[in-house]
Structure 1
Amino acid sequence: MYKYLTLLNEIENMVKSGKYKQGERIPSIRSLSESYNCNKSTVIRTLTELERKHVLYSLPKSGYYVVISKNELKQGKKLVFDFSSSAPDPAVFPYLDFQHCINQAIDIYKNDLFIYGTPRGLPSLIDVVQKQLTNYQVFAKKQNIFITSGIQQALSILAAIPFPNNKKTILIVKCTL
């Protein structure tokens, strides 16, 4: 078995058994590599996989922590839903899970997150739309698919392209979710 899988299983078992408690910081990469007599890259690979499995989460320049699971009801305690407020109960709202997801999104999409995109739309979204259209027997080339974030952008694109058969009338459909 690979060294990182052994390390992964051992850390995961320590979390499940309670040796590493929820919210607790686990040992550093350096100390884990020394304890398990392995390379730091092996430890990093293990921790990345445990983070992907949502067993651990990382805080930059702080370390890795055990994910805090949802509160379980204590025996005899009844669950009460209060619909008078639209806000969730702060005690059960998964702030750390949400923070973990936001951090992951920033890490993965950091180059595309705060830019407007290409004039034709996000390339990965165009790929998905093309596949979805193909499922409905609509065969469109990627260069013919435009995704806009507003009517002004759509009108600008439409004004710049020549229409077949010298037509002058266009139909615009606004989709809202």
Structure 2
Amino acid sequence: MTEISHPSRRAKYPILMRILHWLRAMMILGLIACGWYMTGRAEHDPVAGILYPNHKQFGVLVWLLALVHLMLRWRYRSVLPQAPAALKAWEKSLSHAIHRLIIALTLLTPLLGYAMSSSIPDGDGIPFFFITHVPELLPKSDALFTLFQTLHRYCAYLLLVCVLLHVAGAVKHRLQDRGGETDVLPRMI
């Protein structure tokens, strides 16, 4: 299930977690880029009209994958690689905080997007691939829509900042250490 660490090779995350990590990363960055593009376009722009339903259904997929990620972390908790001992205490703390925030935000941001789409008066629903529409459970309200829209936007920005910090940390250790003790990238490749 996991690759065992020995002197010439460090332990890696289980293959399923590595695939899920990179898939979620691409989807999250794509959704943020799509969100920026859509909100900067005219309301009846034909391209935005295609992007909105896809943004919604891939947002639901990111949420589902975040749940799978949590289940896998729980399942593999005893075999996950530990933070390198050579990392400073503040680096370990920052890394753990960023990871927890990314996980929380990949759950929260899509839920807020769902709440926004569910509460919009005269909305067109929330599609999800082969399911016609995800049930809308919230009351229709301009005030709720505005609240959830704002929260969804700020959570997406915060998620982007966390992803950038996550990448910056991996790059820093990769370039600084050049394959040494604190290079964490090989664990996820």
Give the TM-score of the pair, scaled to structure 1. Answer: 0.27
| Higher RCO (CA 8 Å, separation ≥ 6 residues) | 2
Give the TM-score of the pair, scaled to structure 2. Answer: 0.26
Which structure has the larger Rg over C-alpha atoms?
Answer: 1
Which structure: greater helix fraction? 2
